[in-house]
């Protein structure tokens, strides 16, 4: 065992007010990351008509942001370690806010691709640094709660607020360019608040106001990252996260056009149906991992996988009824979010040694974002463009059936082994 020094804030001198401010700012920031990333989805039907975009173009626009987001997130940690979180968060927030504004000036597929690629880079810088500063500002017993609240903001703003806001603005201002102008303003105001409230790193590398004292703990030497592949559940979880993230991004990217072009919904009705993604995603993130602690991780993953398959099949053949489509999309999104959250959280952490938990989670998120976040929308756009957008639910359904079979056969109920080392903070 190796002795490791770790900084622990003195509870008596912990700044609760600063912790509260950080959680509010980072939750709003993460929410705006989700909003700015997805606000373009419900606008695609209008953009397609004005800019001459086809379904392949739509898939590419979504894919390139995910690709640069993932690449940027890989370097964000090192940059924030060197410069401090505040030095990353404030410029990144200004950057992605200005870039969402510039999206409103795009006049071709090329300019859209360039702007969205740069936006992905800025948002990828923001996300890891925001989680780190949230952890640093939190009391140890509130780390899980605070990071959960922060990360829940992305699906809330991205999948619930974004479609309702976009359709409301489209029906009031009648100009999609102004939608991007409006949503850029909160980010610029938030950046100003961050610059004023957030504390920079001290010379000793810490953040915050509470003095720190070293606490010596012991932990096992780190294992090689390829050690993750020795654990069956970890490998299955990586496959599962990739499949379910692929289904999420492919459906989210093309669903607005499916509802308007194929099902014939108008813009306000489309916005109401799309809000089902937000309601379901928030419920899934909150409920399913908690239920897995009582009912078992494999049981909840398989149950949610089957629920999503059944709900998506029903959605594919459902009559064009807005309340019914809303409910079905809630079930689809809730089950999807539940599978991803349970695989990334409880299942991986119960299936690998603590020394590999962060590595396993990072591998699952990284591979899932690159293949699912970037590759899936590109492939979905190709299918929609060459074979018809109505084929998308069926293609996603086939992928989910394969994933469900993999989960049933591949997953083993994880053993609750005794922890001989102190748990490490999971930042992913």
Compute φ and ψ for 354, nearest 5 degrees.
-55, -35
Which stretch of 218-232, 358-372, 392-406 has the lowest confidence by average pLDDT?
218-232
Interval 199-205 mean pLDDT: 57
Residue 416, burial from CB neighbour count under 10 angstroms (0-12, 13-18, 19+)? exposed
User: Which of 175, 207, 239 lies at the terminal end of a domain, its last residue?
Assistant: 207
Residue 87 and residue 166 in one domain: yes
**The pLDDT of residue 260 is above 80:** yes
Residue 89, burial from CB neighbour count under 10 angstroms (0-12, 13-18, 19+)? buried
Number of structural domains in the chain = 2
User: Quick check: is 222 in a domain?
Assistant: no
Give the single-character DSSP code of 225: G
Query: Alpha-carbon distance 254 to 381, whole Å?
Result: 8
**The pLDDT of residue 286 is above 60:** yes
DSSP string over 237-290: HHHHHHHHHHHHHHHHHHHHHIIIIIS---HHHHHHHHHHHHHHHHHHHHHHHH
User: Quick check: is 169 in a domain?
Assistant: yes
User: Quick check: is 214 in a domain?
Assistant: no
Q: Give the H/E segment covering residue 220.
A: none
User: Quick check: is 295 in a domain?
Assistant: yes
Distances (CA, A) of 376 to 208, 372, 392: 41, 5, 11
Residue 398, burial from CB neighbour count under 10 angstroms (0-12, 13-18, 19+)? exposed
Q: What is the pLDDT of residues 11-32, one digit of tens each?
A: 556 778 898 999 999 999 999 9
Query: Alpha-carbon distance 380 to 249, whole Å?
Result: 9
User: Quick check: is 76 in a domain?
Assistant: yes
Residue 199 and residue 255 in one domain: no
**The pLDDT of residue 420 is above 60:** no
Token digits of residue 297: 């991780």
What is the dihedral angle through the alpha carbons of 295, 298, 300, 306, rounded to the nearest 10 degrees?
-140
Which stretch of 199-213, 360-374, 413-427 has the lowest confidence by average pLDDT?
413-427
Query: Residue 11's pLDDT is what?
Result: 54
Which stretch of 243-257, 269-283, 288-302 has the lowest confidence by average pLDDT?
288-302
Q: What is the pLDDT of residues 338-366, one digit of tens each?
A: 898 888 878 887 888 877 766 777 778 77
Q: Give the H/E segment covering residue 141.
A: none
60 or 370, which is more confident? 60
Residue 300 and residue 187 in one domain: no
Residue 295 and residue 371 in one domain: yes
Residue 33 and residue 127 in one domain: yes
Q: What is the pLDDT of residues 82-99, one digit of tens each?
A: 788 889 899 999 999 999
381 or 10, which is more confident? 381
Residue 322 and residue 236 in one domain: yes
Q: Which of 283, 381, 308 is nearest to 62 (CA)?
A: 381
Contact call for residues 327 and 199 (beta carbons, < 8 A): no
Query: Residue 300's pLDDT is what?
Result: 92
No. of H helices and E strands in the chain?
Answer: 16, 2
208 or 3, which is more confident? 208
Residue 267 and residue 171 in one domain: no
**The pLDDT of residue 240 is above 80:** yes
* Residue 202 binned pLDDT confidence (cut-offs 50, 70, 90): low
The whole domain housing 237 covers 230-416
Query: Residue 193's pLDDT is what?
Result: 96
Residue 241 and residue 198 in one domain: no
Distances (CA, A) of 219 to 96, 234, 352: 39, 21, 15
Residue 164 and residue 267 in one domain: no
Q: Give the H/E segment covering residue 214.
A: strand 212-219
Residue 268 and residue 341 in one domain: yes
User: Which of 207, 238, 269 lies at the terminal end of a domain, its last residue?
Assistant: 207
Give the single-character DSSP code of 11: G
User: Quick check: is 59 in a domain?
Assistant: yes
Q: What is the pLDDT of residues 146-158, one digit of tens each?
A: 777 787 888 899 9
User: Quick check: is 1 in a domain?
Assistant: no
Interval 160-169 mean pLDDT: 92
Most confident of 216-220, 240-244, 368-372: 240-244
CATH code where residue 325 lies: 1.20.1250.20
Residue 245 and residue 198 in one domain: no
**The pLDDT of residue 184 is above 70:** yes
- Please measure the distance between the N-terminal and C-terminal CA atoms of the chain and give it in whole angstroms: 25
Query: Alpha-carbon distance 410 to 403, whole Å?
Result: 10
Q: What is the pLDDT of residues 117-152, one digit of tens each?
A: 999 999 988 887 887 788 788 888 777 677 777 878
Percent of the chain with pLDDT over 90: 53
**The pLDDT of residue 316 is above 90:** yes
Residue 196 and residue 271 in one domain: no
In a 3-state reduction of DSSP, which class is residue 6? strand
* Residue 103 binned pLDDT confidence (cut-offs 50, 70, 90): very high
Tell me the pLDDT of the chain averaged across its residues. Answer: 84
User: Quick check: is 48 in a domain?
Assistant: yes
Give the single-character DSSP code of 41: G
């Amino acid at each position: 065992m190796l002795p490791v020094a770790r900084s622990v804030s003195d509870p008596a001198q912990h700044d609760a007010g600063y912790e509260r401010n950080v959680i509010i700012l980072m939750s709003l920031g993460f929410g705006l990351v989700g909003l700015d990333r997805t606000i373009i989805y419900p606008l695609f039907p209008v953009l397609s008509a004005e800019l001459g975009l086809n379904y392949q173009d739509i898939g590419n626009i979504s894919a390139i942001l995910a690709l640069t987001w993932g690449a940027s997130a890989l370097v964000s940690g090192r940059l924030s370690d060197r410069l401090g979180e505040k030095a990353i968060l404030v410029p990144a927030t200004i950057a992605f806010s200005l870039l969402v504004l510039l999206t409103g000036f795009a006049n071709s597929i090329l300019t859209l691709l360039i702007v969205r690629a740069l936006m992905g880079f800025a948002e990828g810088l923001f996300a890891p640094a925001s989680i780190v500063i949230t952890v640093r500002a939190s009391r140890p017993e509130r780390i899980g709660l605070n990071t959960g609240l922060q990360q829940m903001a992305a699906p809330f703003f991205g999948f619930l607020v974004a479609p309702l806001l976009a359709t409301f603005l489209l029906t009031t201002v009648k100009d999609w360019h102004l939608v991007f102008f409006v949503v850029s303003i909160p980010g610029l105001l938030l950046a100003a608040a961050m610059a004023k409230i957030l504390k920079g790193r001290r010379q000793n590398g810490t953040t915050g106001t509470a003095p720190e004292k070293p606490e010596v703990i012991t932990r096992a030497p780190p294992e090689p990252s390829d050690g993750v592949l020795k654990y069956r559940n970890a490998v299955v979880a990586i496959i599962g996260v990739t499949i379910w993230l692929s289904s999420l991004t492919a459906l989210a990217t093309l669903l607005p056009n499916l509802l308007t072009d194929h099902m014939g919904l108008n813009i306000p009705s489309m916005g109401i149906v799309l809000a089902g993604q937000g309601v379901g995603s928030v419920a899934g993130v909150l409920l399913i991992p908690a239920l897995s602690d009582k009912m078992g991780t494999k049981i909840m993953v398989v149950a949610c996988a089957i629920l999503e398959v059944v709900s998506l099949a029903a959605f594919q053949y459902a009559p064009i009824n807005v309340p019914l489509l809303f409910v079905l999309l809630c079930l689809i999104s809730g089950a999807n979010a539940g599978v991803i959250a349970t695989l990334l959280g409880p299942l991986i952490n119960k299936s690998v040694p603590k020394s590999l938990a962060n590595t396993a989670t990072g591998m699952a998120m990284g591979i899932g974002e690159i293949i699912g976040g970037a590759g899936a929308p590109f492939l979905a756009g190709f299918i929609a463009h060459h074979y018809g957008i109505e084929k998308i639910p069926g293609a996603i359904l086939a992928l989910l059936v394969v994933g469900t079979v993999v989960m049933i056969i591949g997953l083993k109920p994880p053993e609750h082994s005794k922890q001989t080392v102190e748990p490490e903070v999971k930042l992913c």
